[in-house]
Amino acid sequence: MAKESYPDELRYHPEHDWARVEGAEATFGVTWYAQDALGEVVFYEPPEVGSQAVKDQAYAEVESVKAVSDVYAPLSGEIVAVNDLVADKPELINEDPYDEGWLVRVKLSDPSEADELLDADAYRKLLEDE
């Protein structure tokens, strides 16, 4: 399992999801905290390419042996790519939540939504208060 970290270049949603914003597109995934709370991920089914992710709403589920957890969209937009590798090897979410364990790539419908997300410092502060 990966070491606890919250990269500075990402933006964070309070439901423990991250977004890597690159111009008009962004990549989503779950944070180290989320995968640690869930435990070893054993099942993940990617959403359909072409479906819509809506900020603050669930776009997928990740499951450990014991529990199911919703994955929330930090931003809105059309899903243009999904990480099929994670469907085959869901433990990548535990091993590398910010890189190989990415979940979807989204064409943002409103890039300014990113202003509402937390930066790494603010997210770390939120975790301290949990």
Partner 1 sequence: MATAALKRTPLYEAHVAAGARLVDFAGWEMPVQYEGVRVEHLAVRSACGVFDVSHMGEVETSGPGAEALLQRLLSNDVSTLAVGGAQYSVLCRSDGGILDDLFTYRLADDRYLTVTNAANHERDCAWFEEHSGGFDAEVRDAIADSAMIAVQGPAARPIVTELAEGELPSRMRTATLSVAGAEMLVCGTGYTGEDGVELLLPAERAADVWEALTDAGARPAGLGARDTLRMEVCFHLYGNDMDEHRNPIEAGLGWCCKPETGFIGSEAIASARESGTEQKLAPFVLTGPGIARQGNTVVSGGAEVGVVTSGTLSPSLEVGIGMAYVAAELAEPGTEVEIDVRGKLRAARIESKPLYRKET
Interface residues with partner 1 (CB under 8 A) are 39-40, 42-43, 45, 61, 63-66, 68
CA angle 126, 10, 111 (to 5 degrees): 105
Give kind and range of the element (H or E) at residue 68: strand 68-72
Q: How far is the CB of 52 from partner 1 (least distance, A)?
A: 17
Q: How far is the CB of 122 from partner 1 (least distance, A)?
A: 25
Our CB check for partner 1 shows the closer of 54 and 65 to be 65
Measure Cα distances from 82 to 89, 101, 120 in Å.
Answer: 14, 11, 24
Q: How far is the CB of 36 from partner 1 (least distance, A)?
A: 10
Our CB check for partner 1 shows the closer of 24 and 67 to be 67
For residue 97 the two structure tokens come to 């939540």
